[in-house]
Structure 1
Amino acid sequence: TLHHTTNQTMAECAKKSASYTCTAPVNIAVIKYWGKRDTKLILPTNSSLSGTLHQDDLRSQTTVQAFQDLEEDEFVLNGKKEVVTGRMQSCFRLVREAAANMEGESFAPKDKLDTYRVRVVSENNFPTAAGLASSASGLCCLVFALAKLYNLPDDRVMLSTIARQGSGSACRSMYGGFSKWMKGTEDNGSDSVALPVVDENHWKEMRVLILVANDQKKAVGSTEGMQKSLEGVAGEKLKRRADITVPRRMQKIEKAIHERDFDTFARISMKDSDDFHDVCRVTEPPLHYMNDTSRLIVRMVNAINQEQAKRRCGYTFDAGPNGVLYLLADHLPLFLSATLFCFPNLEKKDDFVRNAEGVLGKESVLLEGGEGKEEEMVKEF
C-alpha cells in the first residue's frame, strides 16, 4: 500500500503516480428516494431502502491516479473525456479535506497534496443514464477509489456522506445485501447516512431479474425530475409520502427482510413503485418514465401472482422504463419463461439473460493499488 513507501525520497515520489482501481455495485431501491430538502448537500425528503446487485452483472469500475503535472482533475467515462461536474468536484474536495485532517499520510506528504490533481477513468458494464442507477454505482466507486488513494479509513458511514453529495443513491452502494439511506434531520446533513440492513448472505434465495425496456438516455434526468415534483399536487403527495407513508413502509419492509417474508416484501415494493410513478404522473409537466413495455411487465407480474394465489414476484421501476423483478430462486424459471413468452427476443436470445443466477451482491471492492503506472494510464488516452 502507498503509505508504506516511506523509504523513497521526495524526488522519486514526485516522478511517480499513485493509482487505485475499484469497483462498485448498482443498487435498486424498493423504497424510493424522490425529492431533496437541500439540493447542495443532497439531503432527501424521505429515507429509502435498496438491494445491491451482483457485480458480475452490473457494476462501475474506476481507476484514479494522482499526477503533479495535471492542471485540473480529469474524468473519462466509457472511453470519452467528460466534464468534471460540480457534484464530482464536491467529492474531490471532501476527500481532500478529510485527508488533510487525518493522522498519517497518503501518496504524498500533506504539504504537497495540493500540488496533485487526479485523473479518473471510469466505465460501466451496462447502459449509462438509462434508469439503471449508473450514477449511484459510478459516484460510489469514485469516492471509494479516492478514499483508497488518499488513505482514508474504511469507514463506510463516513464515506456514504461523501458519496451522497455526488449522487444521492450512491451512498447505498457502499454496502452489499440490503441497505438504507436515512434522510436525517440535521441541517448540515451529518445524520443523513447510509447504513446496512442485512448483508448478501442473509437472504441467499433472493434473485433479481432486470428487464431492459429501453437502454437510451432518458429525456428528463432524476435530478431535474424530482425537483419538479416538489410543487403543486405532486408536492402534496410527496409531503404525505415523506411524513407518513415512507416511515411506515421502512419499518415494515425491514421487518420483512429480516424475517425473509417475501410476500410482504413484494407487496410493499410494488406499492412504493406505483406510488412513486403516480407522483411523476401528476408532476407539472407530467413525467412519464415508464412506457408501454414497462406497463406490460407490470401486467405480467400481476397476472402470474394472481394465478399463483400468492405473490411470487415483486416489480419496481426507478426513474426509467426498465423493470427490476425481485423473486426467489424457486420461481425464477417461471418468470423467465413468462418473460420470454411475453417479450420474444429472437435476435439476441443467447444474450437475453446475462446471469440467471443473479443474486444480491457485495459491497464496493478494491481491485488493485500501487505506484508508477503513469505509462499504462497514458496509453489509454
Structure 2
Amino acid sequence: MAEAGKVHRATTTAPVNIAVIKYWGKRDTNLNLPANSSLSVTLSQKSLRTLTTATCSESYTGPDSLILNGEEEEIQSSKRTQACLRNLRQLREEVEAKDGSAPKLSKMPLRLVSANNFPTAAGLASSAAGFAALVRAIANLYELPQTPQQLSLIARQGSGSACRSLMGGYVAWRSGTKEDGSDSLAEEVAPVAHWPEMRALILVVSADKKGVPSTAGMQTTVATSSLAPARFKDIVPARMAEIEKAIQDKDFETFARVTMQDSNSFHAICLDSWPPIQYLTDVSRAAMNAVETINRKAGKLIAAYTFDAGPNAVIYYLEPDSRAVAGVFKNHLPRVEGWDNEFGAAIRSNEMGGLDSKAVMTLKNGISRVICTAVGGGPESVETHLVDESGKPVEGT
C-alpha cells in the first residue's frame, strides 16, 4: 500500500533523433499516423537530451501539471499530452488490478518537471526527446512491463518522431497499415555497437522558433503538394530499403547519398505546397555547398547533410573522417560556441581550400553555435531528480 503523502518519483533522460528518411505528412491526424515510414539516428545524450522527472502523490491536489524549462505548460488542453497520460494510466491500472497490494498510483495527480539542454522548437527535435522522456519517466514511475517498442505506440501520439527516441542506434518508424495505428511503431534497425563510428555536426542557424510549425506544415503539404503522393507511395519505401541495407553493410557512401536525396525530396514537397513552405535559408544552402565541396575534394561521399523542418544543418560523417569533414567547419568557425565538448575537442582544424568564399562568409555570419555529437543510446534512468522528496521542483529547473 502507498504511504500517505509519499511522493513517488522516477527520472529519465531521453535523446534527440535526427531523421535521415523524413517523416512528413499524416494519414490520420488524430492518431498521429504517418503517410510514410521514416528512419533516424539517435544522437548521444552527452550533447543533446531531455531530463524529465515524473512524480505522483496522494498529497497532490488539482490536475496533472508539467513544468518545462522552468515554465508551467498548459497540458489540460493538449490532446497529444492527454492521450499519452491516459494510455499510461490505463496500463498502470492493469498492473494494480493484477496486484492488489500495488499502490494506486493511477489515481494520483502527476507532477512532471522537464528540462532540455538545447533550444526548444528550433528545429532540433525537442518534441521528440520531450515526449519520449515523458512517456519513459511515467512508465518507470508506474513500473510498467511494456517494452520500448510497445511504449513507442504511446509516445507516437504525443509527437510522431518521439517514438524513435525510445531506442538508441538506428531506428525505423514503421508507418503501418492498420486504421487503429497498432502497427505504427518504432523498431531498432541496428544498435549503437553495430556502427559506433557515426558522428554528427549540427550547425545551429537560429535558436528562434520556426515560422511554420511542423503539424500545420504537414497538413498543408498533404492537401496541396502534387509531388507528395509519389514520395509517400514509391520514393520513401525504396529509400527505406536502400538505407537499411546501407546501415547493415556499414556502407557510408550509400547512406550519405540517400540521406541527402531524401532531405532534398522533403524540402521539395514543402516548396511544392501552397502556400509554399520554406525552411531553408541562405545559411542552410551555404552548408550544403560546403558539404558538396568536401565530397568533391575527397573524390567520394564522406559527408551528408540533412535538414529537418528548420534551417539547421545536420552533417553526418564517420569518425575517421572527422578532420576532413568537421575540421573544415572548425577552421572557418573556430570561435563559434560548441567545439569544447568531448566530440568537438577531438576534431583537428582543416584549412582545406576550394570552399566558395561567399558561402564561407554566409556561414561565418549565420551560424550561432555548433553541436558536436555522435550516434548514442536510448533513454536512461537516473537519480538526479528535478523534484525533491516533498514534491517541490528543484531550484534552477
TM over 0.5: yes
Partner of 1:126: 118
Q: Rate the CA distance shift 1:379–1:332 in 2: closer, same or farther, 3 A.
A: closer
- Mapped to 1, the partners of 2:307 and 2:283 lie a distance apart of 12
Deviations 1:315-342 (A, max 9, x none): 1000011111110111111222321344
Aligned residues: 363
Alignment partner, residue 354 of structure 2: none
Alpha-carbon RMSD: 2.0
Query: For 1:127-276, what aligned pairs fall within 5 Å after superposition?
Result: 127-232=119-224, 234=225, 236-276=226-266
Is 1:297 matched up with 2:287?
A: yes
Contact conserved, 1:105 with 1:151, CA < 8 A, in 2?
A: no
C-alpha contact (below 8 Å) 1:27/1:50 kept by paired residues? yes
How big is each residue's C-alpha offset from its partner over 1:255-280, in whole Å with a ceiling of 9 and x where there is no partner? Answer: 00000000000000000000101111
> In 2 relative to 1, CA 106–216 (structure 1 residues): closer, same or farther, beyond 3 Å?
farther
Match of 2:109 in 1: 117
Deviations 1:8-35 (A, max 9, x none): x55xx12111000100000000000000
Distance 1:152 1:313, change over 3 A: same
Percentage identity across paired residues of the two chains: 45
- Once residues 148 and 324 of structure 1 are traced to their aligned partners in structure 2, the CA distance between those partners, rounded to angstroms, is 32
Question: SS of the counterpart of 2:187?
Answer: strand
Aligned partners of 2:179 and 2:220: how far apart in 1?
A: 22
Deviation at 1:359, TM superposition (A): 1.9
**Cα distance, 1:377 vs structure 2:** 2.6
C-alpha distance in 1 between matches for 2:32 and 2:119? 24
Query: Which residue type is aligned with residue 31 of structure 1?
Result: I
Residue aligning to 1:41: 31
| 1:361 pairs with 2:366 | no
Matched residue, 2:67 = 76
SS in 2 for 1:34: coil
Whole-Å separation in 1 of the counterparts to 2:196 and 2:251: 13
Per the TM alignment, residue 375 of structure 1 is displaced from its structure 2 partner at its CA by: 2.1
* 1:19 equivalent in alignment to 2:9: yes
Runs of at least 4 residues of structure 1 off by over 3 A? Answer: 102-110, 351-354, 378-381
Q: 5+ residue gaps in structure 1?
A: 1-8
Contact 1:107 1:150 in 2 (8 A): no
What SS does the aligned partner of 1:62 have?
Answer: strand
User: Residue 369 of structure 2 aligns with which residue?
Assistant: none
Q: Residue 78 of structure 1 contacts residue 122 of structure 1 at CA under 8 Å; is this kept in 2?
A: yes
TM-score, normalised relative to structure 2: 0.87
- Between stretches 129-138 and 101-110, larger displacement belongs to 101-110
CA distance in 2, matches of 1:292, 1:201: 37
**Distance apart, 1:345 and its partner CA:** 5.1
Secondary structure at the residue paired with 2:50? Answer: strand
Is the Cα–Cα contact under 8 Å of residues 18 and 107 in structure 1 kept in the other structure? no
In 1, are the aligned partners of 2:50 and 2:130 still within 8 Å (CA)?
yes
> Is 1:89 aligned to residue 82 of structure 2?
yes
Question: Which residue in 2 is equivalent to 1:4?
Answer: none
How far the C-alpha of 1:108 sits from its partner, in A, is 5.2
CA contact (8 A) 1:181 1:193 kept: yes
CA drift of 1:352 comes to 3.6
Q: Is the 8 A contact 2:7 2:391 kept in 1?
A: no
